[in-house]
Amino acid sequence: MNFSLEGRTYVIMGVANKRSIAWGIATSLHAAGARLIFTYANERFEKPVRDLAATLDGQDALFYQCDVTSDEAVQTTFDQIKEDVGTIHGLAHCIAFAQKEDLKGDFVDTSRDGYLLAHNISAYSLVAVSRAAQPLMTEGGGIVTLTYLGGERVVKNYNVMGVAKASLDATMKYLANDLGQHGVRVNAISAGPIRTLSAKGVGDFNAILKNIEEKAPLRRTVTQEEVGDTAYYLLSNLSRGVTGEIIHVDSGYSILG
Ligand SMILES: CCCCCCc1ccc(Oc2ccc(Oc3cccc(O)n3)cc2)c(O)c1
């Protein structure tokens, strides 16, 4: 069986810059021969994403704005993708957000609006994009989302994003159950901390990275490329028997007490 992605098209949602985990996924899928479609939240991200994609030799990428907080915007985006390419073979959902004030201090102080915003963008958006994307996966497909240990165990300062990730993990499993009959697999990658634009919003990042280098079984942090390669596995036929799963790409840190 061939594990190349030649002749396959994948949607990657959430590239902000070259440090994004979504960009690591893009480079791995490109290396495997995939055609890529990028979506970005607002016009601020269009140029950085286009400039990054231009560095991928031989890639004929497409670009669409998609505000995942709007059901209409999500449907419009996938209607346009259907018109432009017809069939897609998978999707990487690398989207999350919480208000900065909800990523520090006591979780008990989280506002109703902050809680709903974090869940709207970081968890419900997977339902919305999966519902819109599935009909385009006429040859079956794979959906991958990004989660974090803070959704399984309390991690200081991660607060409302941890609760949203717990919801994302269950959301992924219920979507896996619904979409399996359509040949669509849904999985998550639980990535260890990586210094990204998003990471700037949470906790004392230097201390967290240092702790991993000292304690994680592999005694080092992970890279966007390592997460990208696991996304390649989950979006290729290599993982054809796997759905509803969370793979930890975290130097083994999550096995520690
Ligand atoms: C205290 C936790 C330490 C390890 C955190 C690893 C991690 C890093 C980045 C992660 O992704 C986000 C995405 C958006 C997010 O919300 C933000 C980010 C920046 C500014 C802001 O106002 N909100 C917070 C984390 C994430 O889910 C997990």
Among 20, 107, 198, residue to substitute to test ligand 1 (most atoms within 8 Å of Cβ): 198
Residue closest by Cα to atom 8 of ligand 1: 199
* Least-confidence region, from 45-54, 200-209, 229-238: 200-209
Compute, in angstroms, the gap from residue 198 CA to the centroid of ligand 1: 5
C-alpha distance across the termini of the chain, in Å:
39
Q: How far apart are CA 174 and CA 176, in angstroms?
A: 5
Contact 244, 176 (CB under 8 A): yes
CATH of 9-251, one of 3.40.50.720, 3.30.70.100, 3.30.70.1290, 3.40.50.1000: 3.40.50.720
pTM exceeds 0.95 for this model? yes
Q: What residues act catalytically?
A: 148, 158
179-180-182 Cα angle (round to 5): 70
* pLDDT tens digits, 32-61: 999 999 999 999 999 999 999 999 999 999
* Mean pLDDT of the region 150-167: 98
**pLDDT of 11:** 99
95 labelled binding-site residue? yes
- CB distance 151 to ligand 1 below 6 Å: no
% the chain with pLDDT above 70: 100
For the cut 90, the answer to whether the pLDDT of residue 140 exceeds it is yes
For ligand 1, whether the C-beta of 203 sits within 6 Å is: yes
The contacts found for 52-58 with CB under 8 angstroms, 24 or more apart, are 52/15, 52/17, 52/18, 52/23, 52/26, 53/26, 56/26, 56/27, 56/30
Residue 121 assigned to a binding site? no
Name residue 85's amino acid. V
In the block, which residue shows the tokens 């996966």?
137
SS3 category, 58: coil
Q: Is residue 34 in contact with ligand 1, taking CB distance under 6 Å? A: no
Question: Residue 159 — left, alpha, or beta (φ > 0 → left; ψ -120 to 50 → alpha)?
Answer: left
As for the ipTM of the complex, it is: 0.99
Q: Which amino acid is at 214?
A: E
